[in-house]
Amino acid sequence: MPQSADKVLDHADLFNEPEYKAMLDNKRATYENGHSAEKVAEIGEWTKSWDYREKNLARECVTINPAKACQPLGAVFAAAGYEATMSFVHGSQGCVAYYRSHLARHFKEPASAVSSSMTEDAAVFGGLNNMIEGLQNTHTLYSPKMIAVSTTCMAEVIGDDLNSFILKAREKESVPADFPVPFAHTPAFVGSHVDGYDNMQKGILTPFWKDVARVADDSINIIPGFDGFAVGNIRELKRVLALMDVKATILSDVSDVYDTPSDGEFRMYSGGTTQDEIKGALNAKATISMQEYCSRKTLAFCAEHGQDTAAFHYPMGVSGTDEFLMKLSELTGKEIPESLRLERGRLVDAMADSQSYLHGKTYAIFGDPDFVYSMARFVMETGGEPIHCLATNGGKDWEEKMQALLASSPFGANCKVWPGKDLWAMRSLMATEPVDMLIGSSYGKYLQRDTGTPLIRLSFPIFDRHHHHRSPTWGYQGAINVLVKLLDTIFDKLDGAATGAGEGDISFDLTR
């Protein structure tokens, strides 16, 4: 055998050993009944043609590799940002394993959530008993301060009514009478994780603000939105708020729960927005959302309670950050301090320093609607050209906003916007109209392999690289981090293209 107790091989090496290669080849030949390698290569090439692209883009009845997740994942993420809150997902157990593993694989932290574990009998007769027992178990076993209930497809298909179920569970004393159990219906077959995030945010605020008189003060609420870089971004946001001396409440602060220290103590809960802060948030002068598509219902709810509202598209880059800071200044009456003006100048300086490498580079971008908008805007600020912008969970309204953004810059002239399309469609786009770089999540690595386009990981989920989420992408400082990633990719590509000493290595430069 190639490995022993004294010589343990990493799996990347182990499965390239002759024994394993032979075993896998034999399995393929004996059991898979596949086509010949030539046929597979021939069809593979055809799937990169314009002929196939037209068929692929006309596809309606099947989705292949959507760049989105289902609503409850967003609900679990939103609930995790509230102090000592356990997500309770009413429905099937496997769904919750998926949300937990997705979040844990991205943040490299344990992600807690429980399920009402509905099975066949509950699917036929309803899941009331699962709710009654589940809430009691959750309260007893995990000692949360709040349980936030959402739903999977299964509970939604059979029409379980969370409000009446939770009332019934309270009658049965599953939880103490005054224990908060906010809820949100999150049907997974419509919308995406950004809608689930929105529904849960509204669901959590609703019971705390119900029938309470608002006494307006001068504070601001900020909704960060669903964000794979939340740990770095929320901390950056707090730093900026402190610099501006703005009194703010972050509605769903996940920065600590997805970044707990290793010091011998397991923290199922860490940090998060407290219940006193949720109650106090009713009195805020305004609620700002960092991501419009993650907060439409919640902002409407805040407006109904007399607050001013404003929404941004993932403030990143120069103009994105300018817009955010100016609105914050307008709402609070606080000056933008000199230190932030200096940060802005440093970002512009860094972009100018690297202009000769950034100018004219072409990009394919995929991800959530706010992220794609923001990324395209920043790319254009650097002199780059977005060519394909795709959001599986983007709709008509997003498409129109993107078109207006692209029309505002000469660098947007060659870009097409693709709402509702998946990553298999992106493959056809990149094969027929190649670009210099691809920006998105880890799922883009298959596009990188198939098209040879380097992938820059800047959205959720990032499974195959570690700790990116700790560095901010928001604000002027965050934009410098993003800029460095773009430039590193450009320089790596240049170095990689240098084929050998004295031959094709004219740009293998030490100094750039």
The CA distance from 417 to 420, in Å, is 10
The CA distance from 251 to 85, in Å, is 13
CB of 153 to ligand SF4, least distance (A): 3
- Fill in the amino acid letter for 309: T
CB of 72 to ligand SF4, least distance (A): 5
CB of 187 to ligand SF4, least distance (A): 8
Catalytic: 95? no
Of 196 and 317, nearer to ligand SF4 (C-beta) is 196
Pair of tokens at residue 107: 């943040």
The CA distance from 64 to 432, in Å, is 18
User: Sheet holding 437-440: strands in order across?
Assistant: 416-419, 385-391, 362-366, 437-440, 455-457
Of 134 and 384, nearer to ligand SF4 (C-beta) is 134
CB of 89 to ligand SF4, least distance (A): 8
CB of 114 to ligand SF4, least distance (A): 15
The CA distance from 257 to 270, in Å, is 5
CB of 57 to ligand SF4, least distance (A): 24
The CA distance from 99 to 105, in Å, is 10
Tokens 């002068």 sit at which residue?
Answer: 285
Of 78 and 288, nearer to ligand SF4 (C-beta) is 78
Residue nearest to ligand SF4 (CB): 95
Residue length of the chain: 512
Tokens 């597979």 sit at which residue?
Answer: 40
The single residue of 8, 76, 153, 482 carrying the catalytic annotation is 153
Helix, strand, coil % in the chain, rounded to nearest 5 = 50, 10, 35
Catalytic: 114? no
Of 78 and 447, nearer to ligand SF4 (C-beta) is 78
Please check whether residue 52 is in contact with residue 46, taking contact to mean a CB–CB distance below 8 angstroms: yes
Binding site for ligand SF4 (CB under 6 A): 70, 72, 95, 98, 152-153, 188
The single residue of 8, 95, 157, 482 carrying the catalytic annotation is 157
Of 9 and 157, nearer to ligand SF4 (C-beta) is 157
Residue 5, CB half-sphere, CA atoms under 13 Å: how many?
0
Of 70 and 148, nearer to ligand SF4 (C-beta) is 70
Which parts of 391-474 fold into alpha helices (H)?
396-407, 423-432, 445-451
The CA distance from 282 to 446, in Å, is 46
DSSP string, 185-236: ---TTSS-HHHHHHHHHHHHHHHHHTT------S-EEEE--S-TTHHHHHHH
Catalytically annotated residues: 153, 157
